[in-house]
A = this chain, B = another copy of it.
Amino acid sequence: MVNSGQAPAKIKYKRMPELVMDQLMDWIMDGTISMGDKLVAEDLASKMGVSRMPVREALKNMEKSGIVESIPYVGTRVVELTMADVKQIYIMRKALEPIAAYYACKNITDERIETLIAVQEQLERVLFEENPDGKEIFVLNREFHFTIYETSQMRHLVNSISNLWDHLAFFKLIYGRKYVTDKDSAKRVVRDHRSFIELLKNRDCKGLQDAVHESLDRLVSGLNESIEDYIHPNK
């Protein structure tokens, strides 16, 4: 067989719709695709060198998670996120993420905490580089949070939270820039994360729950202006 040697059973290769979706999300994050843009399956297909089919599946997936919306026989376009949408998503995040954190704390092992610390160290390294990469920061930040949330072993909950994060893809760019230019935000993130780790070490689950909620609160109030700028750029 082709697959001679090891790497048994657990190969998780990516299927094409996933790759297509990754590409689209990248384009969304780097601004190539903007809100409201029409996504024509055939154009994307030829641009990516695949047939229309995987593109269709990717779009269907993105529709299901609410990033794009499609009208039968008319087309698919990228959803226009309003300020109200963003607020709504943060309301949901504030409702769900503290719970995930709470149950994660109930379940976490010392070993898992070590993993988390490793991610955090990597994140801090990147954050305080001379020329940080916004996207890398966001990926690592996400990894940090989901390392916690996944520990809750509540797959439905984690899945929903993941969807919410995806919705904010448009703003990853902003976040990245903010952390790059605004060292205070970076320091605040570091402080928050470290306090999460401390609370986890002490198994202070209620404390962690509150801390996550507060952290999100601060995030919202901090980002109001920059989001407003992004939504109404020419104001």
- Residues of A participating in the B interface, judged by any CB pair closer than 8 Å: 13, 15, 57, 60-61, 64-66, 72, 85, 88-89, 91-92, 95-96, 99, 103, 106-107, 152-157, 159-160, 163-164, 167, 231-232
Which of B61, B88, B99 sits near A64, CB closer than 8 Å? Answer: B61
Which of B15, B60, B64 sits near A72, CB closer than 8 Å? Answer: B15
Shortest Cβ-Cβ A-B pairs, 6 listed: A64-B64, A95-B95, A88-B154, A88-B156, A15-B72, A106-B231
Nearest B residue (CB) for A107? B231
Q: List 27 A-B contacts (CB under 8 A).
A: A13-B72, A15-B72, A61-B64, A64-B64, A64-B65, A66-B155, A66-B156, A85-B156, A88-B154, A88-B155, A88-B156, A88-B157, A91-B99, A91-B154, A92-B99, A92-B156, A92-B157, A95-B95, A95-B96, A95-B99, A107-B231, A107-B232, A152-B231, A153-B231, A156-B164, A156-B167, A160-B163
| Cβ distance A156 to chain B, nearest Cβ, rounded Å | 5
| Cβ distance A195 to chain B, nearest Cβ, rounded Å | 23
Judge whether B66 and A159 touch: CB under 8 Å. yes
Q: Which residues of B contact A167 (CB under 8 A)?
A: 156
Q: Which residues of B contact A92 (CB under 8 A)?
A: 96, 99, 156-157, 160
Nearest B residue (CB) for A227? B103
| Cβ distance A192 to chain B, nearest Cβ, rounded Å | 21
Q: How far is the CA of A163 from the CA of B152 in the complex (A)?
A: 20
Q: Which residues of B contact A13 (CB under 8 A)?
A: 72
